[in-house]
Structure 1
Amino acid sequence: MKNIKWVFVIYSIAAVLAMCGIGIAVAMRSIPVALIAMLALIFVMGNGFKTKKKMREKGLL
């Protein structure tokens, strides 16, 4: 349990929730909600990859 990077767990949960939001939007046939969920997914995954790069450069991974 020591090696868990909790920030990445939070990012991954947020990404899964955004993906679920896309599925819910499709079920609701709501284009605006789908677009918001897609933007949220792009934002969360982008921040996750950016954080991983910064941590790798600092030698924390």
Structure 2
Amino acid sequence: MKEIKWIFVLFSVAAAADIIGIGIAIAEESIVGILGSIVLIILIMGFGFKTKKKYREEGRL
């Protein structure tokens, strides 16, 4: 059985919440909210992939 990597669960939940935020910002017609959410999702996904690469290089995946 594989061990759960909680940091990746956190990244995925944060990314999903931010995608929801993009939808809410679109519904509210908030350009600032849309752009802020897009920047945030790029950062979250970037940190997630960076962390995954680090774990893979360390042999922890």
Work out the percentage of aligned pairs sharing the same amino acid: 54
**CA offset digits 1:28-53 (Å, max 9, x no partner):** 00111000000110000000000000
Is residue 2:52 matched to residue 1:52?
yes
One-letter identity of the residue aligned with 1:44? I
Moved over 2 A (4+): none
TM score, norm. by length of structure 2 = 0.95
Structure 2: 5+ residue runs without aligned partners?
Answer: none
- Counting matched residue pairs gives 61
Match of 1:18 in 2: 18
Structure 1: 5+ residue runs without aligned partners?
Answer: none
One-letter identity of the residue aligned with 1:50? K
CA RMSD, 1 decimal: 1.1
TM score, norm. by length of structure 1 = 0.95
Match of 2:34 in 1: 34
One-letter identity of the residue aligned with 1:36? G
SS at match of 2:7: helix
| Alpha-carbon distance, 1:15 to partner | 0.2
